[in-house]
Amino acid sequence: MGKDPSFTFDSLENKLAKLDRLPDYLRDTVDWFIGKARRKEKEGTDSSSSGDSKLYLEATVLERKLPEMDMRILVDLPAGLDYNEWLASHTMALFDHVNLVYGTVSEFCTASICPDMTGPGQKTYLWFDEKGKKTKVAAPQYIDYVMTFIQKTISDENIFPTKYANEFPSSFESIVRKIVRLLFHVVAHLYAAHFKEVVMLGLHSHLNLTFAHLTALHHRFSLIDPKETEILKDLEVALHLSGECAEAAANNNDKLEDTEKSDECRTQSTEDTSGDNKS
Q: What is the pLDDT of residue 130?
A: 80
**Closest CA relative to residue 193, chosen from 100, 87, 55:** 55
Q: Cα(172)–Cα(159) distance, rounded to whole angstroms?
A: 7
Q: Cα(38)–Cα(31) distance, rounded to whole angstroms?
A: 11
Q: Return the DSSP state at 61.
A: G
Q: What is the pLDDT of residue 29?
A: 47
Q: Is there a domain that residue 1 lies in?
A: no
Q: Is there a domain that residue 123 lies in?
A: yes
Contacts of 103 (CB under 8 A, 6+ apart): none
Q: Is there a domain that residue 2 lies in?
A: no
What is the sign of the dihedral through the CA atoms of 176, 179, 184 and 187? negative
- The gap from C-alpha 196 to its chain's centroid, in whole angstroms, comes to 16
Q: Is there a domain that residue 6 lies in?
A: no
Contacts of 197 (CB under 8 A, 6+ apart): 12, 105, 108
Q: Is there a domain that residue 97 lies in?
A: yes
CATH of the domain at 234: 1.20.140.30
Q: Is there a domain that residue 225 lies in?
A: yes
At residue 113, the 3 state secondary structure works out as: coil
Number of domains in the chain: 1
* Confidence grade of residue 48 (pLDDT, cut at 50, 70, 90): very low
135: β partners: 127
Which is more confident, 41 or 228? 228
Q: Cα(140)–Cα(107) distance, rounded to whole angstroms?
A: 10
Task: Please tell me whether 218 is known to bind a ligand.
Answer: no
Hey, what amino acid is at 180? V
Q: Cα(251)–Cα(245) distance, rounded to whole angstroms?
A: 10
Q: Is there a domain that residue 149 lies in?
A: yes
* Confidence grade of residue 118 (pLDDT, cut at 50, 70, 90): very high
Task: Please tell me whether 213 is known to bind a ligand.
Answer: no
Task: Please tell me whether 194 is known to bind a ligand.
Answer: yes
**Closest CA relative to residue 136, chosen from 271, 270, 2, 275:** 275
What mean pLDDT do residues 26-31 have?
A: 47
Task: Please tell me whether 114 is known to bind a ligand.
Answer: yes
- Out of 34-38, 82-86, 176-180, which region has the weakest mean confidence (pLDDT)? 34-38
Whether the pLDDT of residue 241 is over 70: the answer is: yes
Q: Is there a domain that residue 275 lies in?
A: no
**Closest CA relative to residue 141, chosen from 152, 129, 153:** 129
For residue 66, what are the domain limits?
21-267
List, for residues 131-158, the tens digit of each pLDDT value: 888 999 999 999 999 999 999 999 999 9
- Backbone phi and psi for residue 86, each to the nearest 5 degrees, phi listed first: -65, -45
Count CB neighbours of 193 within 10 A: 22
Q: Mind giving me the DSSP string for 190-245?
A: HHHHSHHHHHHTT-HHHHHHHHHHHHHHHHHHT-S-HHHHGGGHHHHHHTT-HHHH
252-256 CB contacts, 8 Å cutoff, 24+ apart = 252/219, 252/220, 252/221, 252/222, 255/76, 255/77, 256/77, 256/83, 256/221
List, for residues 69-82, the tens digit of each pLDDT value: 567 788 999 999 99
Count CB neighbours of 6 within 10 A: 8
